[in-house]
Amino acid sequence: MKKTTLFQFFHWYYPDGGKLWPEVADKAEYLSTLGISHVWLPPAYKGASGGYSVGYDSYDLFDLGEFDQKGSVPTKYGDRAGLEHAAQCLQSHGLQVLFDAVLNHKLGADEKERVHVRRVEEHDRNDIDDSAFEALAYTRFVFPGRQGKYSEFVWDYRCFSGVDYIEDPNENGIFKIMNDFGEDGWNDDVDKENGNYDYLMGADIEFRNEAVNEELKFWGRWLLDSVPCDGFRLDAVKHIPAWFYSQWLDHLREHSGRELFTVAEYWSPEVSALQNYLHETENKLMLFDSVLHTKFHHASKSGSDYDLSTLFADTLVAIAPENTVTLVANHDTQPLQSLEAPVEPWFKPLAYALILLREQGVPCVFYPDLFGATYTDKGDDGEDYEIIMPVIPELEKLIEARQRFANGAQHDYFDTPQCVAFVRDGTEEAPGCVVVMTNGDVASKHVQLTEGLAGRRFYDFLGNHADVVTAGDDASAEFPVSAGSVSVWVLEQ
């Protein structure tokens, strides 16, 4: 049985023109053979920028590339038929399909409405002006291209708690909408950054409006019944009251009769915030370990000055491994993005070994690290610049090693700053491995193996070290590693 391994099948700079869905279909068999079990697809519905939208500027959840809206019928990734074919190909090769749910906000409203708003202090969202005033806001979504197909629900100002742009007077900022819901402030039960982080962008969805909740539940049921879908990646949950997704997931799991693997993005440097969210949602989902990712970023920038023995201290995977998805990179951490914190290429093999080969957590692999990617754009100076995202040569072998060798009990040797190791003992049915890495010079780690391995020979599965290691009579051995590298030592057959 495959070990659960996610693959994020897109990145922020993926090219326009409907190329993604055909590529997903084409590579489904390869990913399955490699050892991937779940594929996370980008937001599949129409964004405010139509065929150029990465998908996080959510406009019409029911338009999966089927209607002429926002300047195109297809989304950036292709049309609905292409999406359905891609998802069917994934499932036919034993892969589960995760859809990206962006339910925090909407952009690209079809009409303006006259509303009453109050100005909000950006860095203290609880500081809301006492006086309200009239203005025009982009808050009415009627989806003229869809003409009520699938859902006749019209989103208006009562469906939103705030906006960031108004007209008459023309202003940018944060404006609390006055309606029948939350007159005194924002949703509680959200992240406390900026006092209250309910508001993020665009027309912020008002979850205290029961009609909104019912429409979002209906959309979830419709999606599960309409296209191949096995679970979700939830966007920006730190801005959404935790009770909403707890109820939403219960509803969809009952409707579908399935587990619906779900991982949420709660990007915070504080592990306590992640723990609190898991508690508030009753552990009904998993979270990406943003704390561990930040440590990978700093370790890659610091070189041999970083203390590798502290990598897992105060991380979510160390505290709540059963609710943790680990990652090395994603679309938000890429260069020029809001959460930019790239992990340098030299360190990525080490980081991937740490998430793919350990017992704790479910690892997520990022598209550019497996397939590579480049992006060219003009800078503010008018000059072209190129973002290069190279293939990580060891990654294929590390994913294979996860399926073949990441077995049995785990023993850690995180006892020195520049060289750490861990051992997977293996089981009666499957072999284990010894993983050694360093961010400094050539190093080695002396480890104790299980009794039956005395005299057995090991080789580096990654090919980073040419010599063979033979365990002593006491079933211990010294396993070397090249400078700034990782080795995965496995038994010779």
Binding site, by residue number, is 104, 198, 204, 239
Would you state the structure tokens that stand for residue 187, as one six-digit string?
């949703």
Provide the 3-class DSSP secondary structure of residue 132.
coil
- Measured distance between the N- and C-terminal CA atoms of the chain, rounded to whole angstroms: 22
Kindly give, in sequence order, each residue whose CB lies less than 8 Å from that of residue 139, ignoring residues fewer than 6 positions away: 109, 112, 113, 115, 155, 156, 157, 159, 160, 163, 177, 203
Is residue 22 packed enough to be buried (19+ CB in 10 Å), middle (13-18) or exposed (0-12)? middle
Annotated binding site for Ca(2+): 104, 198, 204, 239
**Contact by Cβ (8 Å): 329, 287:** no
**Alpha carbon distance 354, 327 (integer Å):** 10
Cα-to-chain-centroid distance, residue 372: 18
The phi and psi torsions of 420 (rounded to 5 degrees) equal -130, 165
Kindly give, in sequence order, each residue whose CB lies less than 8 Å from that of residue 471, ignoring residues fewer than 6 positions away: 449, 453, 454, 455, 456, 457, 458, 477
Beta bridge pairs of residue 433: 424
**Contact by Cβ (8 Å): 373, 342:** no
**Alpha carbon distance 459, 71 (integer Å):** 56
- Residue 476 has a CB neighbour count (10 Å cut-off) of 13
Return the active site residues. Answer: 235, 265
Tell me 43's DSSP state: P
Kindly give, in sequence order, each residue whose CB lies less than 8 Å from that of residue 226, ignoring residues fewer than 6 positions away: none
**Contact by Cβ (8 Å): 452, 480:** no
